[in-house]
Structure 1
Amino acid sequence: MQKLLMTSLGRLRILAFAEGVSFLVILFITMPLKYYFDYPEANKVVGMAHGVLFVLYIFLVIQVGLEHNWKFKRMALAFLASIIPFGTFWADKHLFQAST
């Protein structure tokens, strides 16, 4: 884990995992709590955390893309992965690990 934190690509991989998990928690846990059990508070807290992780992910994709001279297609796929459920996990395997 400490080795991953040493590079911007490693930090992106960790952040992509956290962003993906927060997206799935919102989708499968807090949204049902909000709409089926009338409990919107959980969605507010997790939603804020997910929003922060999403913005950090976007900035880090730009940073890593510029550092590693990624083509536009690779960066676009990384951006697209952040709005599709399970997308950041796919991006880690097919885009980020391939860059190491």
Structure 2
Amino acid sequence: MLKFFRNVALLEGVSYIVIMANMLFIKPTNMDLYKTLLYPVGMSHGVLFIAYVVLAFLLFKPLKWSLQTLFVVLVASLIPFGTFYIEKKYLKNA
């Protein structure tokens, strides 16, 4: 399950960056492409975000995380590039 969580964390971070790029770079220049990408990118990011949060709670006890560590892992999902930091700091050696 840890390997699955690492993959979800990586994909969630990438989807967050893609959705931000869609909003920042594509929307001002090409509204049709923006509207085409909005639903699939947004939906995949939403599913990955929910999976990330659920898996973080499921791995809380097996990985013996403190409540502070769990809080950091959950907050990282709200920050761009945050899940990459979590993968490197907390999941790589677990």
How many angstroms apart in 2 are the aligned matches of 1:79 and 1:41?
30
Instruction: For 1:65 and 1:36, locate their aligned partners in 2 and report how far apart those are by CA, in whole Å.
Output: 43
Alignment of 1:1-100 (within 5 A): 8-28=1-21, 30-31=22-23, 32-39=25-32, 40-98=35-93, 100=94
Identity across matched positions, percent: 34
8 Å CA contact 1:16, 1:57 repeated in 2 = yes
* RMSD over aligned Cα atoms: 1.2
8 Å Cα contact 1:26/1:46 also seen in 2: yes
Choose between structure 1 and 2 for higher RCO, CA contacts under 8 A separated by at least 6 residues: 2
Q: Detail structure 1 runs of 4+ shifted over 3 Å in the superposition.
A: none
TM-score, normalised via structure 2 length: 0.88
The alpha carbon displacement at 1:35 in A equals 4.0
The TM-score normalised by the length of structure 1 is 0.83
Shift of 1:22: 0.5
Where structure 1 has 5 or more consecutive residues not aligned to the other structure, the ranges are 1-7
Amino acid at match of 2:38: N
CA offset at residue 97 of structure 1? 1.7
Shift of 1:36: 3.5
- Using the TM superposition, give the Cα deviation of residue 65 of structure 1 relative to its aligned residue in structure 2, in angstroms: 0.9
Gaps of 5+ in 2: none
